[in-house]
Amino acid sequence: MTQCSTDAIKFKTLAKRSVVADFSGGHITSDAGALLLDKVEQATGVLRRAAGCFTDHRNSDLIEHTVEDLIRQRVFALALGYEDLNDHDELSRDPLLAAVVGKTEPTGQGRRCGRDRDRPLAGKSTLNRLELTAPDADAASRYKKTVLDFEAMESLFVEVFLDAYAQRPEQIIVDLDATDDPLHGRQEGRFFHGYYKHYCYLPLYAFCGEHLLAATLRPADIDASAGTVELLEALVGQIRRRWPDTQIIVRADSGFAREAIMAWCEANAGVDYVLGLARNSRLVAEIADELAEARSEWEQTGQAARRFKDFTYRTLDSWSRTRRVVGKAEHLDKGANPRFVVTSLGPVDSAAWAPRALYEQTYCARGEMENRIKEQQLCLFADRTSTHWMRSNQIRLWLSSLAYVLVSGLRRLGLSGTSMARSRCDTIRLRLLKIGAAVRVSVRRVWVSLASGYPLQALFGYVCRRLEAVIRRQAFRPLRC
């Protein structure tokens, strides 16, 4: 006999057949690609190490969700596109997410409380305690007892970066930049920023290529470069302990061309800088002839024209010494466009530091870092800093950063050599992580039956094989970048 349901939703008719839907499909997930994220975690151990940055003062006899379980659940969810803690009230029922988190009973039937028997994962309130625990909490605290060691978490991102290399590189470039994190409430540290024209935080980021090295939340009532020297001291010190002879080049825009930063680099052997330099009348006068030549070429060809000049320069009172400056004399349809960089690198050191190459190939490449920041904020919700306190918002920023490290690891280790090797995090999520699957749990197996109509089955299998190879290599040698 035909089975009918009063809860069925009717859509349309196809000849003699009606299209009818209901919610009786059983355990079905839309995030089967989380299996790939779990393999990245097996290869890098970043979430396991992040959990080690917490001190858990809870009674071990009463714990159902370890700190590592909570970190994995929260970060996997961010990578899968679930930005809010409220999402976890429904996500806590997902058997596949429970399986990749590491729950031995993915259906939740082993939970102590009867009302939680269909929820294998933690709810929003339990997860929220990761962020809201005070730094002085201990076993006597009432609810919030998982304390994060900020210094350990800051070091973790650099350690993950260092572990990505099997051999010491001859040179690395550390990119620095500040960005705005708009605020819509009365958060601690909230200030109006005149440049961005809204209330915001002003986080400071450091990247080396695709690798995130630091993400520091700051109030907006400070200079963009504030705290950079302290950040460099920590970063360079940690890198130097592993790679004592690697050349480190600090690269940033004109907001970081400050005497303290340049003097610190000059005082530390093997640390150089390439920094944008805000133009002024003295600098423009230095390249007046080159600007005239560029204008003349533009008038003849109608095409943008560039000239470069290498010269030494010193400010009237803010710099302690004369420094090398490269000027770009450019003329566009809209007029003259003079730009400048200041650097400790000399053209005698390498042809790569000749004026044109230094500007076009070395300095301009810093724009790629802005794409990484966009990925963090637009794709992985680094701007969800809506708690009242800066400490808890800093933890949220780091959770987003861990999600970035995870998805970046998937791109670097699994997608290398494919058409998606340079895809953004949200594209990777849409095409590789958001896969429908039925989940069946038996005594010996958790069966994940992925959608038969998934169009990228070959790519999914290829990524799985690459990640498996990385995991196998990890038993014998450090991870190769």
Rounded distance, CA 384 to CA 372, Å? 17
In a domain, 14, yes or no: no
Of 329, 355, 379, at which residue does a domain stop? Answer: 379
CB atoms within 10 A of CB 94: 26
231 in the same domain as 103: no
| 37 Cβ contact list (under 8 Å, min separation 6) | 76, 79, 80, 100, 406, 407, 410, 433
Q: What is d(CA 316, CA 113) in angstroms, rounded to the nearest whole number? A: 72
Please report, as a single letter, which amino acid is at residue 243. W
On whether both 175 and 142 belong to a single domain, the answer is no
| Measured distance CA(319)–CA(106) in Å, rounded | 62
Report the pLDDT value the prediction gives residue 5, as an integer from 0 to 100.
52
Task: With respect to residue 392, please indicate whether it lies within any of the assigned structural domains.
Answer: no
User: How many Cα atoms sit within 13 Å of 398 on the Cβ side?
Assistant: 27
157 and 306 in a single domain? The answer is yes
Q: Which domain holds residue 62?
A: 28-148+415-474
- Please tell me the distance from the alpha carbon of residue 212 to that of residue 398, in angstroms, as a whole number: 11
Among 323, 358, 379, the domain-final residue is: 379
Residues 102 and 157 in one domain: no
Residue at 303 is within a domain: yes
Judge if 305 and 349 occupy the same domain.
Answer: yes
Distance of alpha carbon 452 from alpha carbon 458, whole angstroms: 12
Q: Are residues 161 and 199 in the same domain?
A: yes
Measured between alpha carbons, how far is residue 263 from residues 171, 323, 434 in Å?
20, 11, 49
Distances (CA, A) of 287 to 165, 340, 344: 42, 10, 20
pLDDT at 479: 46
Residue 253 lies in a domain: yes
* 28 CB burial (10 A radius; 0-12, 13-18, 19+): middle
Question: Does residue 442 share a domain with residue 363?
Answer: no
Would residue 22 count as lying in a domain?
Answer: no
Inside any domain, residue 480: no
Task: Walk along the chain (481 residues) and give the pLDDT tens digit of each residue.
Answer: 344 555 788 888 888 888 888 887 778 899 999 999 999 999 999 999 999 999 999 999 889 999 999 999 999 999 999 999 999 999 999 999 999 999 999 988 888 887 888 899 999 999 999 999 999 999 999 889 999 999 999 999 999 999 999 899 999 999 999 999 999 999 999 999 999 999 999 999 999 999 999 999 999 999 999 999 999 999 999 999 999 999 999 999 999 999 999 999 999 999 999 999 999 999 999 999 999 999 999 999 999 999 999 999 999 999 999 999 999 999 999 999 999 999 999 876 677 799 999 999 999 999 999 999 999 999 999 999 999 999 999 999 999 999 999 999 999 999 999 999 999 999 999 999 999 999 998 888 999 999 999 999 999 999 999 999 999 987 665 444 4
Rounded CA gap, 258 and 273, in Å? Answer: 11
| Domain assignment of residue 248, yes or no | yes
CB atoms within 10 A of CB 51: 18
Residues 140 and 182 in one domain: no
Please tell me the distance from the alpha carbon of residue 260 to that of residue 264, in angstroms, as a whole number.
Answer: 6
Q: Are residues 185 and 271 in the same domain?
A: yes
Whole-number Å distance between alpha carbons of 399 and 231 = 19
Same domain, 264 and 174: yes
Alpha-carbon distance of 397 to 150, in angstroms, equals 12
Question: How many folded domains does the chain comprise?
Answer: 2
Rounded Cα distance between 275 and 113, Å, is: 58
Residue 352 has a CB neighbour count (10 Å cut-off) of 12
CA-CA-CA-CA torsion sign (210, 379, 126, 446): negative
**Domain limit, last residue, from 353, 379, 405:** 379
Domain match, 187 and 280 both: yes
Domain assignment of residue 254, yes or no: yes
Same domain, 375 and 420: no
Residue 475 is predicted with a pLDDT of 66
DSSP 8-state code for residue 133:
-
